[in-house]
Chain A
């Protein structure tokens, strides 16, 4: 038993750190460190920089052009990126659909889609949830009917994150209503420029359009875009969900944001208030405990042992912690988190310099502008990716059978 990383792992970390320092654009990390608005270009610019290095698909095996890193190396890479203020990789292409294409797609599909995902050129979206199918995903109704060499798709997907930028969308669609709901689902890749696809951005409680509704009205999809076998899509989707278990805890970002919370608390004068600081101290311990939990899972994965009984806890705890730090940041700024000035969430906003004290952000600290917005945004984390209540049901099966 040893807490320290091996010298090789340490060297790996230092190499990654040096590379990220040299290659992460300062304007992007500034936005990330201050929770300012990221544009499509910001996200894609970083994606392409990683893609050029061969690290956008950093979880990929070498046969598909990935670095072939083990679980610990992946963790160290993600940690160094997060701590340096890199945006999270938009996961839908490299993290979500690519492993399915690798495992279940044919050679032609692999050659057609994987290079564009690896380079960061293409933008993918996820078409799983529907208005009537959230936690009960298998009840989904979007239909794909086979007609000759095409599928005709009709229906609606919901909560499609960043779908307004999407060029391709991977969808779970119903191809059969026979038997159990799970057995009639197929995995289909759809070009979002196809006639009949409509994307409608949905404004969320933080004022931003992070998700979309995607409508399919008699959309023609070539049958060659079907991944694997018809009616086996549920199995493929489950395969996808079994990957990247530690990633979902997002502990690296939690460490970065806890440090930011401490800076905010000092600026706002609540660091010296014992009652407030004790709340930060609780979170300080919770983050250490989460990191230990993640390290235990990684250690088990490294030696090929089964860690399933604790991996299910990571999503619950990680999301609770994300909500808590965003809440404490907002509370630290107190009344100065409440002004809703959308422009102040753009990098470099100075307000009206000519107006003096009345021209800037109320209270004078523009870093407070996004705090409430982030707090509101983070409510999603206990809902998406299988709500925490669904996760608890899964965890209880481990304990109670």
Chain B
């Protein structure tokens, strides 16, 4: 039982933090938001740091690292509310490494690791909400390959990505496919999202696809769990910075002739915010440390973690705005951007109520971290 980070992990954290502080300031981010919410050159800079290959083995050109390194990186990106979707890259690296055949791995993993290819998960369907086993997308075998017909929504950076990981059914059973954006029968419509980033609807009409695995639901659940652990870590970074911004504001803003941080009602609210932050950090650790556990244990852990993180994100985000007062609801001031990011993260990979249901359905007679 040990929660210290290794020297290598601390160095990784420093490197990412340095890039966020120096290379990704609020002005650059603002320009990216105005330009549509995705900046390929910023994504390439993340890849140059090696982050795109975090979950890809060294012989495939990646760094071969694990969930704790993923957590460290995502915390730092969260601190800077970075728009480019590295979570998707962690998912793609993890899922292709874990479930794809050798040819597909050889074709895609080095390109993902280098940043040459951005591969994102396209799974959201209208009727599924947060459920993973509801899938209307269909695939049929055509000669040596497959073709897919599907409509997917809210695909991160969907009109900028190079390829998609897409669940679709084969004879009623979910399988996982890889579809290239440039292929025939692929259409996208991009739009901005509430957090300032970018997503797209994806329409596939008999689009050619490569099969990743016929064990699609297992792989999709794993993909989502990689996403949940990353989102939890990212949220901790976002909240950490939100709390720091709010504390600084409270110590500067004066009303009735004194700093508003001197008022007990506000101080106690801040104590509650700190509580939610630390519970969230604890459960983010828990999520990352359980990411390689057997599937049942892993799924239960992610549900617990995302429930806590969702609860914390909503409270910390709302209270940060409230503690700022009027300036908190402006677009010009930074805290509203953090609030919007937290709101979007809460509803990504299953919201708080969804995961409460998951915890409730999976609950055992035992209790605690080791149960």
Contacts and interface: CB of A to CB of B under 8 A. Distances in A.
Interface of A: 1-6, 9, 72, 251, 254-256, 258-259, 262-263, 274, 277-278, 280-282, 284-293, 295-296, 298-300, 302-303, 305, 310, 313, 316-317, 389, 391-393, 395-396, 398-401
A303 B250 CA distance: 34
12 contacts: A1-B6, A3-B286, A255-B371, A262-B363, A289-B283, A293-B279, A296-B3, A300-B3, A393-B268, A399-B274, A400-B251, A401-B261
A313 B286 contact: no
Chain A interface mostly helix, strand, loop or mixed? helix
Contacts of B267: 392-393, 396, 400
B205 interface: no
Contacts of A399: 243, 247, 270-271, 273-274
A259 B283 contact: no
Most buried by B among A278, A285, A310: A285
Contacts of B363: 262, 277, 280-281, 284
Contacts of B247: 399-400
Interface in B341-371: 356-357, 359-360, 363, 365-369, 371
A298 B274 contact: no
B3 A287 contact: no
B308 A289 contact: yes
Contacts of B251: 400-401
Contacts of B288: 1
Contact of B1 (A5, A288, A293, A398): A5
Nearest to B262: A400
Contacts of B369: 3, 288, 291-292, 295
B194 interface: no
A72 to B, nearest CB: 6
B313 interface: no
Contacts of B360: 274, 277-278, 280-281
Interface residues of B, number: 45
Contacts of B270: 396, 399-400
Contacts of A9: 1
B290 interface: yes
B40 to A, nearest CB: 33
Interface of B: 1-6, 9, 68, 243, 247, 250-251, 261, 264, 267-268, 270-275, 278-279, 282-283, 285-286, 288-290, 304, 307-308, 356-357, 359-360, 363, 365-369, 371
Given A255-B367, A293-B278, A395-B274, 17 more contacts: A1-B6, A1-B9, A256-B367, A258-B367, A259-B365, A285-B359, A288-B304, A289-B286, A296-B3, A298-B1, A303-B4, A316-B271, A393-B264, A393-B267, A393-B271, A395-B275, A400-B267
Nearest to A256: B367
Contacts of A302: 2
B285 A292 contact: yes
A5 B370 CA distance: 10
- Across chains A and B, which 5 residue pairs bring their CB atoms closest together, nearest first? A292-B282, A281-B360, A396-B267, A392-B271, A395-B271
Contacts of B359: 281, 284-285
B275 A1 contact: no
Given A284-B304, A287-B367, A396 B271 contact: yes
Nearest to A320: B275
Max chain B C-beta neighbours (<10 A), residue from A72, A296, A303: A296
B357 A278 contact: yes
B1 A389 contact: no
A307 to B, nearest CB: 10
Contacts of A395: 271, 274-275
A400 B264 CA distance: 11
Given A6-B1, A310-B278, A278 B289 contact: no
A1 B356 contact: no
Contacts of B304: 284-285, 288
